Amino acid sequence: MTDLVLHEYAASGNCYKIRLTASHVGVVLQRREYDIMSGETRSLAFLSEVNRNGRIPVLQIGDRFLPESNAACVWLADGSALIPTDRFDRADMLRWMFFEQYSHEPNVATLRFWLHLIGETALSDMQRAQIASKRTGGEAALALMEEHLASQRFFVADMPTLADICLYAYTHVAEEGSFDLGHFPAVRRWIDAVAALPRHVAMED
Amino acid sequence: MTDLVLHEYAASGNCYKIRLTASHVGVVLQRREYDIMSGETRSLAFLSEVNRNGRIPVLQIGDRFLPESNAACVWLADGSALIPTDRFDRADMLRWMFFEQYSHEPNVATLRFWLHLIGETALSDMQRAQIASKRTGGEAALALMEEHLASQRFFVADMPTLADICLYAYTHVAEEGSFDLGHFPAVRRWIDAVAALPRHVAMED
């Protein structure tokens, strides 16, 4: 099998979702850690060799590089039970993965990064000015998930798919961004269900 | 064939990309227009029947509803030449589509919406405060596209895919968000190449 290297910052949910997908499909990843706080992913070497976009994660597949966490998950899960075979369900899985990147991650993940990993006192004025709108956006994303999960065990087709893996990554640590999951009981039940799946691995593993 | 209804606001690039995909794969969509300026997609009827997320576009497939523009494009293009058969290329196509929703649309599309469709004088203070950072983000997205397209005719596998369709939608009208495409000659050449494809339709069609 081709060597697989995950270029990552382990505390990032976007990196964790790739490790979680790999575990579910039984694939071993080599891991290479970067210190994003010191700008290691903005170095000339990283930009020219790994990702011109200066972001982790990137999944290296042999000598090819695949940025964007959800795309890397799709590559890993190709042909597995994590991707539905039904045409509508497969598109509906991607629907939740696009929702994750557009409506969830920029709010839920960014507030966690700012408040938990950087720390509020170290934020710029521009960042501090966006906290309120990101809280509103993150709560709206969680509320949409709550409504959906009130009548569904998993996001798509009553089975665990990449939509669950990708949404789980930042949702299960949303309280580190000071979101109160006590307001979202169906989301909490779903978090427990994802964590109870065979082959689950924790973020800190 | 199942009835397909596009719930849309025609001037939105996210809606246009679905019409463009449908044209490429030879599928006819019924179209239902909503006035997003008057909040028609936030009405109780829309929220309960079409999309709880209160956003267009939504592709209705019979009695099922598929939000998220890029997911709708995948559903429409399923099995067509717009989706590569190679595993890496298919994931790489999604990589550019996630890039589009995460790094491109929130900047390039939002500035066009604010400056061209709403008008700068009608913006809120919160919106006006974000113009500079959205301009920086949009220019970074266009610069990344420019670098990639300097050595590639299309985004993936040297052939037109959904990555091109989805990125084209807002890029070809980026100047309406006051981005200067004169700085991005490879992007302009690619815009012309996408517009010259058989079965292309314009945004205003």
Please name the amino acid found at residue B132.
A
Residue A202 lies in a domain: no
> What span, in angstroms and rounded, lies between the C-alpha atoms of B79 and B73?
12
Residue A205 lies in a domain: no
Residue B121 lies in a domain: yes
- Give the burial class of A125: count Cβ atoms within 10 A of its Cβ; 0-12 exposed, 13-18 middle, 19 or more buried: exposed
Least confident of A138-147, A156-165, B14-23, B37-46: B37-46
Do B54 and B109 sit in the same domain of this protein? no
Determine what percent of chain B is predicted with pLDDT higher than 90.
96
A73-76 long-range contacts, CB within 8 A, separation 24+: A73/A17, A73/A18, A73/A21, A73/A97, A73/A162, A73/A165, A73/A166, A74/A162, A74/B90, A74/B91, A74/B94, A75/B87, A75/B88, A75/B91, A76/A18, A76/A21, A76/A22, A76/A25, A76/A27
Do B145 and B112 sit in the same domain of this protein? yes
Last-in-domain residue among A77, A111, A127: A77
Task: Say which of A67, A71, A133 has its CB closest to residue B126.
Answer: A133
Is there a contact between A67 and B133 if contact means CB atoms under 8 Å apart?
A: no
The span from the first CA to the last CA of chain B, in angstroms, equals: 23
> What span, in angstroms and rounded, lies between the C-alpha atoms of B63 and A184?
28
Identify the closest residue of chain B to A79 by CA–CA distance: B87
Is there a contact between B68 and A148 if contact means CB atoms under 8 Å apart?
A: no
Res A15: pLDDT: 98
User: Is 80 exceeded by the pLDDT of residue A113?
Assistant: yes
> Half-sphere exposure (CA, 13 Å, Cβ side) for B85?
3
Do B96 and B138 sit in the same domain of this protein? yes
- Tokens representing B59 are 């592709």
Least confident of A58-62, A100-104, A171-175, B35-39: B35-39
Do B71 and B95 sit in the same domain of this protein? no
Is beta strand B58-61 parallel, antiparallel or unpaired with respect to A4-8?
Answer: unpaired
Q: Are B156 and B96 in contact (CB under 8 A)?
A: yes
Going by C-alpha positions, the residue among A103, A199, A125 that lies closest to residue A160 is A199
Q: At which residue do the structure tokens 């550019």 appear?
A: B96
User: Is the ipTM beyond the 0.95 threshold?
Assistant: yes
Confidence of residue B205 (pLDDT cuts 50, 70, 90): confident
Residue A147's CATH number: 1.20.1050.10
Last-in-domain residue among A54, A77, A100: A77
Domain extent at residue A49: 4-77
Do A17 and A44 sit in the same domain of this protein? yes
Do B113 and B166 sit in the same domain of this protein? yes
Res B1: pLDDT: 72
Q: How many inter-chain contacts (A to B, CB under 8 Å) are there? A: 96
Going by C-alpha positions, the residue among A9, A55, A52 that lies closest to residue A32 is A9
- β-partners of residue A156 are A159
Say what the pTM is.
0.97
Bond into B57 cis (ω within 30): yes
Is there a contact between A75 and B88 if contact means CB atoms under 8 Å apart?
A: yes
What's the pLDDT tens digit per position in A31-88? Answer: 999 999 899 999 999 999 999 999 999 999 999 999 999 999 999 999 999 999 999 9
The alpha-carbon gap from A95 to the nearest alpha carbon of chain B, in Å, equals 5
Residue B204 lies in a domain: no
Do A110 and A135 sit in the same domain of this protein? yes
> What span, in angstroms and rounded, lies between the C-alpha atoms of A9 and A46?
13
What's the pLDDT tens digit per position in B52-100? Answer: 999 999 999 999 999 999 999 999 999 999 999 999 999 999 999 999 9
Residue to mutate among A12, A68, A145, A162, with most B CBs inside 10 A, is A68
Is there a contact between A90 and B106 if contact means CB atoms under 8 Å apart?
A: no
Bond into B67 cis (ω within 30): no
Is beta strand A64-67 parallel, antiparallel or unpaired with respect to A58-61?
Answer: antiparallel
Angle between helix B162-171 and B125-149 (nearest 10): 130
What's the pLDDT tens digit per position in A124-169? Answer: 988 998 999 999 999 999 999 999 999 999 999 999 999 999 999 9
Confidence of residue B196 (pLDDT cuts 50, 70, 90): very high
User: Is 90 exceeded by the pLDDT of residue A205?
Assistant: no
Do B188 and B94 sit in the same domain of this protein? yes
Do B114 and B40 sit in the same domain of this protein? no
- Tokens representing A76 are 């890993």
The alpha-carbon gap from B23 to the nearest alpha carbon of chain A, in Å, equals 19
B129 or A66, higher pLDDT: A66
Do B57 and B118 sit in the same domain of this protein? no
Residue B201 lies in a domain: no
- Can you tell me the mean pLDDT for B158-181? 98
Q: Are B189 and B149 in contact (CB under 8 A)?
A: yes
Residue A82 lies in a domain: no
Do B113 and B141 sit in the same domain of this protein? yes
Confidence of residue B156 (pLDDT cuts 50, 70, 90): very high
Residue B109 lies in a domain: yes
Is there a contact between B91 and A148 if contact means CB atoms under 8 Å apart?
A: no
> What span, in angstroms and rounded, lies between the C-alpha atoms of A190 and B7?
30
Res A126: pLDDT: 85
Residue A177 lies in a domain: yes
- Tokens representing B121 are 């004088």
Exposure pattern of B31-64 as b/e (b: 16+ CB <10 Å)?
eeebebeeeebeeeebeeebbebbbbbbbbbeee
> What span, in angstroms and rounded, lies between the C-alpha atoms of B91 and A83?
13
Last-in-domain residue among A19, A52, A77: A77
Task: Say which of A52, A71, A102 has its CB closest to residue B94.
Answer: A71
Res A47: pLDDT: 94
The domain tally of chain A equals 2
- Can you tell me the mean pLDDT for B163-168? 98
Q: Are A82 and A26 in contact (CB under 8 A)?
A: no
Going by C-alpha positions, the residue among B145, B152, B103 that lies closest to residue A105 is B103
Residue B68's CATH number: 3.40.30.10
Do B26 and B120 sit in the same domain of this protein? no
Residue to mutate among A25, A50, A89, A94, with most B CBs inside 10 A, is A94
